[in-house]
Amino acid sequence: MSMHGIREVNFDGLVGLTHNYSGLAHGNVASMSHGGLVSNPKEGALQGLAKMKSLMDAGYAQGVLPPQQRPDLGALRDLGFSGSDREMLARAATQAPQLLRAVCSASSMWTANAGTITPSVDAPDGRMHITPANLQSSFHRYLEPRTTGRVLQAIFRDEQHFAHHPVLPATPAFSDEGAANHTRLCGEYGEPGVHLFVYGRQAFGGGRNEPKRYPARQTLEASQAVARQHGLSDAQTVFAQQHPEAIDAGVFHNDVIAVGNGPVLLYHEMAFLDEERTLNELRAKMSTPLIPVRVPVEAVSMEDAVASYLFNSQLLSNPDGTMTLVVPSECQEREAVWNTIQNFILAGNNPIGEVIVKDVKQSMRNGGGPACLRLRVVLSEAERAALTGRVLLNEALYSDLTAWVNRHYRDRLATDDLADPQLATEVLTALDELTQLLNIGSVYPFQQG
């Protein structure tokens, strides 16, 4: 807890019923290499819930966000498929199997990409500001923001406390991937923060220093537009370019190579194109001393960083000023990474004093680690009280959600199963129940009109 009851709440995305391995994400090494594997949606959802539960038990504030309606039959209809749901699924499966896979992705589980949030303490009007990310860089994720916006508006409904902005134009110039490329650094949560926006390319007047192999997903123009929407000034923002070689090595978001919280920035030396300028600007703008924890390439190679997702850890602040790092179990399986955690990060002169290892393998195989699965929201006590719905985790909600998963989820899903009309029906039944369980009203297309 910090002053005025201001806390960070991690809103984790529930893994959806259609969680599968389709190899949809170009430039995301795990997704590309696991395409075709049989997934276990039930295990995925339970792993996610277990992570939420153990952080709740350790005293951190934990929230939950619902998955989306998949298959997205509305998207198939927009693309010219017609007939009954069953007919559309059968036609898509034979005529355009790639499209069927895309409209079945459970990618909304990675709520670090749901949007960008500015806490009320930093905004000129004293409200929290939200922009859902357009996720236009891939078709399967481009399908998310409409429902994401509805979900966020349902939960953060109170206009006195929460301001919602339109999704940026879904065009390459404003390619936006949300909080995965945004880090707020500060002293206590209630003190003013500096917002580090990391982008992969510049749309207008750029063209130099761009990745050659894989796409840069975030543009400078998108990050600037979000900062403008939220009323952030120059003094509150730092825009830094991601190292193009990192993107080419599989670092498709900044949160795959850096994580910051409070005054601490844990990052790999290949994170930023201009490391020195980035750190100097942060230092100049922050009202508290920056504590950089720099991991050199000699300690952790780019390959180890991408395979272990060390930097996709959650960095959590404790009331006594120490910090806890929540790492995926893949970090234990790489000797260089585990040594670095023990002998360098934990042993170093910085607040990080504890490591928690979590198994989120179902998500990891699609390139989503502990930090991808959560959207951080800094909220005052009054703002927490103003939330709509039953979305803050407690024992009862945890046990209701676990029972709900056990009731509705399959424990095996191959890509061929995605055309099964029964799966689409199972999803609707489960989601209808979920909206009641979370008490968030009608947020899904099948519940509209």
Annotated binding site for substrate: 22-31, 113, 140-141, 217, 255, 366
State yes or no: residue 370 binds ligand SUG (CB under 6 A): no
Residues 81, 117: contact at Cβ < 8 Å?
A: no
Looking only at the bridges linking them, the beta strands covering 314-317 and 237-241 are: unpaired
Take residue 247 and report the two structure tokens written for it: 């993107």
Binding part of the chain for ligand SUG, among 192-200, 300-308, 365-373, 387-395 by CB under 6 A, reads 365-373
Q: Is the dihedral of CA 320, 325, 326, 332 positive or negative?
A: negative
State yes or no: residue 313 binds ligand SUG (CB under 6 A): no
Name 165's Cβ contacts closer than 8 Å, sequence gap at least 6. Answer: 129, 130, 131, 226, 229, 230
Rounded to a whole number, what is the largest CA-CA distance in the chain?
A: 63
Residues 15, 44: contact at Cβ < 8 Å?
A: yes
State yes or no: residue 23 binds ligand SUG (CB under 6 A): yes
Catalytic annotation present for 372:
yes
Amino acid identity of residue 233, one-letter, is S
Binding part of the chain for ligand SUG, among 206-214, 263-271, 328-336, 366-374 by CB under 6 A, reads 366-374
CA pair distance 80, 247, nearest whole angstrom: 35
Catalytic residue among 43, 144, 177, 330: 177
Taking the complex as a whole, how short is the minimal distance between the CB of residue 211 and ligand SUG, in angstroms? 15
Chain positions 111 to 170 lying near ligand SUG, rule: CB under 6 A, are 112-113, 141
Taking the complex as a whole, how short is the minimal distance between the CB of residue 343 and ligand SUG, in angstroms? 26
Residue 52 CB-density burial (10 A; 0-12 exposed, 13-18 middle, 19+ buried): buried
Taking the complex as a whole, how short is the minimal distance between the CB of residue 21 and ligand SUG, in angstroms? 6
State yes or no: residue 110 binds ligand SUG (CB under 6 A): yes
Closest by CA position to 199, among listed 186, 213, 180, 214: 180
Q: Where are the alpha helices (DSSP H) in 20-84?
A: 29-34, 41-57, 73-78
Which segments are annotated as binding site? 22-31, 113, 140-141, 217, 255, 366
- Examine residue 71 and say whether the peptide bond preceding it is cis (omega within 30 degrees of 0): yes
Q: Of 255 and 330, which CB lies nearer to ligand SUG in the complex structure?
A: 255
Q: Where are the alpha helices (DSSP H) in 156-243?
A: 220-229
Q: Of 263 and 368, which CB lies nearer to ligand SUG in the complex structure?
A: 368
- Binding ligand SUG (rule: CB under 6 A), the pick from 49, 55, 180, 300 is 180
Catalytic residue among 104, 186, 331, 372: 372
CA dihedral 295, 300, 302, 304 (to 10 degrees): -140
Chain positions 243 to 302 lying near ligand SUG, rule: CB under 6 A, are 252-253, 255-256
Q: Of 193 and 367, which CB lies nearer to ligand SUG in the complex structure?
A: 367
- Binding ligand SUG (rule: CB under 6 A), the pick from 15, 25, 152, 430 is 25
State yes or no: residue 315 binds ligand SUG (CB under 6 A): no
Cα-atom radius of gyration of the chain, to the nearest Å? Answer: 21
Closest by CA position to 116, among listed 97, 99, 130, 100: 130
> CA 59: distance to chain centroid?
21
State yes or no: residue 309 binds ligand SUG (CB under 6 A): no
Q: How many other CB atoms are found less than 10 A from the CB of residue 396?
A: 9
Catalytic annotation present for 186:
no
Chain positions 319 to 338 lying near ligand SUG, rule: CB under 6 A, are none
297-314 burial by CB neighbour count: b if 16+ within 10 A, else e?
eebbbbebbbbbbbbbbb
State yes or no: residue 22 binds ligand SUG (CB under 6 A): yes
State yes or no: residue 107 binds ligand SUG (CB under 6 A): yes
Give the length of the chain: 449
String of contacts with ligand SUG for each residue 384-423, x by CB under 6 A: ----------------------------------------
Catalytic residue among 164, 165, 253, 268: 253
Taking the complex as a whole, how short is the minimal distance between the CB of residue 197 and ligand SUG, in angstroms? 15
Taking the complex as a whole, how short is the minimal distance between the CB of residue 37 and ligand SUG, in angstroms? 10
Catalytic annotation present for 253:
yes
State yes or no: residue 380 binds ligand SUG (CB under 6 A): no
Number of amino acids touching ligand SUG (CB under 6 A) = 22
Residues that bind ligand SUG (CB under 6 A): 21-25, 28, 31, 105, 107, 110, 112-113, 141, 180, 252-253, 255-256, 366-368, 372
- The residues that are catalytic are 177, 253, 372
